[in-house]
Structure 1
Amino acid sequence: MDLKFVNVIILGFGFMFVFTAFQTMGNIEKTILDSIAKEDSNFTGDGYTSLAIIYTTFSLCNWLAPSFISFTGPRVAMLVGSLTYTLFMLVFLFPSNWLLYLSSGILGAGAAITWTGQGNFLARCSDLSTISRNSGVFWALLQCSMFFGNIFVYFQFQDKEHIDAATRSMVIGVLTALAVLGIVFLAALRPMEDNSVGTSEIQRQQQQHRTGWGSAVYALKSAGQLFITRDMLLLSVAFLYTGMELSFFSGVYGPSIGFTKKIHNTPKEIVGLAGICIGAGEVFGGGLFGILGKKTTRFGRDPIVIAGYVIHMIAFFLIFLNLPDNAPFKDTEDISYMDPPRAWIALLCAFMLGLGDACMNTQIYSMLGGVYVKNSVGAFALFKFTQSIAAAISFYYSSHLGLRAQLGILVVFGTIGTACFCIVEWAVKRRQRESPEDSRTVSQDSRSVSYDQ
């Protein structure tokens, strides 16, 4: 294996361990905090509010992430950002309202530089022929975090209606240790040359002046210019949907199962199983598209995105039939159209949510890392900005809207977002046929424009 692919593997393992901690905690945070509140009447911290703060800060800080990375480079940015995930884990050992929300805000800022650095580093390790493979391999490794973390949670929460302090401490301690292990892997990454530098004389002259604050200002300006292009505005609708469905499966769906008392004798343990199934779907999808990376590059990304859309629509319909409308809020004896609710349907839907998410995200990574290679930092920052602002809004309305209203919003944005992604993909294919030598730039109104200019 060449050094670039080795770096992709190390990057995947680093994120796998860091997000074994965070994604598992996101899946159980509402359950954990409700258990703490039952023991401590002074603690009123809310899981949905915490997650909303994370993604709000995440979205805003994405505008500054390119400037930060222009100073530090992607490797240092990922290391600094991953430390904030570790800090967030530790806060749960010392329950406090203000500490929970403060650490959520700090994590949001760290997440912005972590994910923008990851996107830029993945692009540096890839070219047009390897970006689909590398995106799929990275995604599969990353989503193992949902699989392994929730297996651990399942056994820890087994036969427990209330998550006691000793169990919470055990879970949090193990997750924190895994986050530290992920940081070790990220520290082992080898430097990669920036492949976003253009080849023209003008581009080389511009690059020489991008130092210090000039580089930071240029990074912010180029991200803003990229955001208002036709293709990026269309892609942003797809990004919005990925943020909404991310918030649903990572923070709402698990607690909704755990609060549905008629689904199982001890529904809290099903939360861990649902996380495992989501992770299995993510890993299967990422691994499949990594193996078929060259074929997806040849035939296009749109068939996979459409398949992900169909999978999600089926899952949403089954969830609508299986879980009661007030399931996201508290323990309930209510039912939906199935009496009693079926645990196996809930777990099947969890797998489908993960598989559909893998379809969407691997192809977005492939699009940004392959087509926007000349401004990958800006492209990934805009992706994470749009995705995280949608996730933040979703977590805010998750505290107020019932399950059916949330599913309706997902159906509408999923339909529009998939259509917008396909429009951009078809435009890219057309430009590649008309002008193969410009296949690594994206144009507005069908004219090739390099974003380094």
Structure 2
Amino acid sequence: MKRSLFNVVILGLSFFLVFTSFQTAGMIQNAVIDGINDEFSKQWNLKWSGYYSFCIIYAVLSIANWIAPSVVAAIGPRVSMILGALTYCIFVANFLYPMRYGLYIASVIIGLGAGIIWTGQGNFLTLNSTAETMTRNSGIFWAMLQCSLLFGNLFVFYQFQGKTKIEASTRMITYSVFLAVGVLGSLFLFILRDRCRSEAADDIIGPLTALSLELAFFSVVYGTAIGRSLTLAKDPSKYIGISGMIIGAGEIIGGAFFGLLGSKTVKNGRDPIILFGFLVHISAFLITFLNLPPNSSLYETDSPTYISSSIPLALCCSFLLGLGDSCFNTQIYSILGSVYAKESASAFAIFKFVQSIAAAIAFLYANSLNLHAQIFILSVTGAFGTLTFCLVEWIVFYEAVISVHSSSSSEPMN
């Protein structure tokens, strides 16, 4: 196996383990926090809020992205990712022995670490890719990363089965396993081999803010809405894990499929895949609007829905959300890694900054706006984000055509 492909596979395996811990923990966080609040809120005179925690994470992450390129340049992408991964372990460990302000302190710490780990990841992936292999490598990495949703949520499904509230004993077992898996993923990052590459790059970046709002929805809000929809079942929280698994299946299938089509994507353009992802998400939003109670993202409710609430429909939406997200992320990584090969750390940091600001805003309004209002916002901004990506893709394509034409015209005639 070539060193570059070896690095991509180990990178994917490391992130699979780290995010089996964090992503799964994020999807069940509100359900777990409900149990923690029942246990400690009177003692603390304070209630934890999962939405506020994620708001803090992404707000700090947006700031951290401004210093992350300098950190990556100073200590290298491998060491940066190791340090970042350890902050994810600290965040997970916070749930083992909850302290009054522990959640919010851990949110700040992981926000700083996330800026470093994701900037380092984008830089390292680019260093191990060429213009021809960037889409393939992005697909491989994304599919391996999203396997975390499949295996992590399978574990959660068995742990939470038959439980309406998550008590301390269940929380301890669940987060002890998550912590062990996260530490193992951090250790795998030590195996990565250094690799340097220098290529020219263009200086164009596209506004992809709107697509980032959907990160908050599919990663936390949707699972929370399922877990609080009493119209689905008497103990709907057990379906949070299944929903996460199916989101992961959509992510994995999309990442693997678009990774295999990497060479054709480069030739035919990335915009058809983005348009397909947008249509998939719009379909999921429409079904969710009809299928789940409007206030299910805020509290447990059995209020009426437009159609009879259906678990299969809810889980179908989970798959569509994962598939659509894989469309967006594989193509965003591909265009950033291809256009900004030489300035990849800065390019990925700027993208993560924009994404983090959008996610922080989404988690902030998620604490007060109901599910239907959030779906409306996502539909409008999703359309705008799709349009802006297509505009950037067309600009890059025409600049490449002009560059090739200019090069051929400047060749001396025999």
Pick which of 292-301 and 79-88 moved more: 292-301
2:110 to 107, 111, 114: 107
2:307 is paired with a residue whose SS is coil
1:302–1:425 contact (8 Å) kept in structure 2? yes
1:256 to 194, 210, 225: 225
Q: Which residue type is aligned with residue 151 of structure 2?
A: F
- Shift in CA distance, 438/247, structure 1 to aligned 2, threshold 3 Å: farther
2:34–2:165 contact (8 Å) kept in structure 1? no
How far did residue 338 of structure 1 move? 1.5
Over residues 16-48 of structure 1, what are the superposed CA-to-partner deviations in whole Å (9 max), with x where a residue is unaligned?
000001100110111100111112233511111
1:150 to 144, 150, 153: 153
1:141-220 alignment runs, 5 A limit: 141-196=144-199
Q: Which residue type is aligned with residue 2 of structure 1?
A: K
Over residues 363-422 of structure 1, what are the superposed CA-to-partner deviations in whole Å (9 max), with x where a residue is unaligned?
000000011112111110011000011000100000011111100110111001101100
Over residues 332-375 of structure 1, what are the superposed CA-to-partner deviations in whole Å (9 max), with x where a residue is unaligned?
11122013x10111100010000000000000000000111121
Structure 2 residue 353 is the aligned partner of structure 1 residue 385: yes
| Mapped partners of 1:63, 1:413: distance in 2 | 25
| Mapped partners of 1:281, 1:118: distance in 2 | 22
1:405 to 373, 385, 403: 373
2:349 is paired with a residue whose SS is helix
Structure 2 residue 239 is the aligned partner of structure 1 residue 283: no
Structure 2 residue 280 is the aligned partner of structure 1 residue 311: yes
How far did residue 437 of structure 1 move? 9.0
List gaps (5 residues or longer) in structure 2: 408-414
Over residues 311-348 of structure 1, what are the superposed CA-to-partner deviations in whole Å (9 max), with x where a residue is unaligned?
00000000000111111111111122013x10111100
State the partner residue of 1:301: 270
1:196–1:376 contact (8 Å) kept in structure 2? no
2:211–2:386 contact (8 Å) kept in structure 1? no
2:20–2:182 contact (8 Å) kept in structure 1? yes
2:341 to 373, 386, 408: 373
1:267 to 228, 231, 236: 236
| Mapped partners of 2:198, 2:366: distance in 1 | 41
| Mapped partners of 2:404, 2:54: distance in 1 | 43
TM-score by length of 2: 0.95
Q: Which residue type is aligned with residue 23 of structure 1?
A: Q
1:82–1:110 contact (8 Å) kept in structure 2? yes
State the partner residue of 1:336: 305
2:200–2:341 contact (8 Å) kept in structure 1? no
2:73 is paired with a residue whose SS is helix
Over residues 288-325 of structure 1, what are the superposed CA-to-partner deviations in whole Å (9 max), with x where a residue is unaligned?
01111111111110010000000000000000001111
Structure 2 residue 6 is the aligned partner of structure 1 residue 6: yes
State the partner residue of 1:17: 17
1:27–1:254 contact (8 Å) kept in structure 2? yes
Over residues 235-258 of structure 1, what are the superposed CA-to-partner deviations in whole Å (9 max), with x where a residue is unaligned?
22x2x2232101001111001000
TM-score by length of 1: 0.87
- Shift in CA distance, 416/91, structure 1 to aligned 2, threshold 3 Å: same
Q: Which residue type is aligned with residue 73 of structure 1?
A: G
1:242–1:361 contact (8 Å) kept in structure 2? no
State the partner residue of 1:364: 332
- Shift in CA distance, 328/351, structure 1 to aligned 2, threshold 3 Å: same
State the partner residue of 2:412: none
How far did residue 194 of structure 1 move? 4.0
1:124–1:193 contact (8 Å) kept in structure 2? yes
Percent identity between the two aligned chains: 48
1:11–1:189 contact (8 Å) kept in structure 2? yes
How far did residue 179 of structure 1 move? 0.3
- Shift in CA distance, 392/298, structure 1 to aligned 2, threshold 3 Å: same
Over residues 112-134 of structure 1, what are the superposed CA-to-partner deviations in whole Å (9 max), with x where a residue is unaligned?
00000000000000001100000
How far did residue 196 of structure 1 move? 4.9
How far did residue 433 of structure 1 move? 1.4
1:136 is paired with a residue whose SS is helix
How far did residue 284 of structure 1 move? 0.4
State the partner residue of 1:219: none
State the partner residue of 1:67: 70
1:21–1:89 contact (8 Å) kept in structure 2? yes
Structure 2 residue 389 is the aligned partner of structure 1 residue 421: yes
Q: Which residue type is aligned with residue 236 of structure 2?
A: P
State the partner residue of 1:324: 293
State the partner residue of 1:205: none
State the partner residue of 1:243: 212
Q: Which residue type is aligned with residue 161 of structure 2?
A: Q
Over residues 138-167 of structure 1, what are the superposed CA-to-partner deviations in whole Å (9 max), with x where a residue is unaligned?
000000011110010011001111111111
2:28 is paired with a residue whose SS is helix
2:211–2:381 contact (8 Å) kept in structure 1? no
How far did residue 94 of structure 1 move? 1.3
Pick which of 33-42 and 102-111 moved more: 33-42
List gaps (5 residues or longer) in structure 1: 199-225, 440-453
| Mapped partners of 2:168, 2:233: distance in 1 | 23
| Mapped partners of 1:437, 1:127: distance in 2 | 22
State the partner residue of 1:26: 26
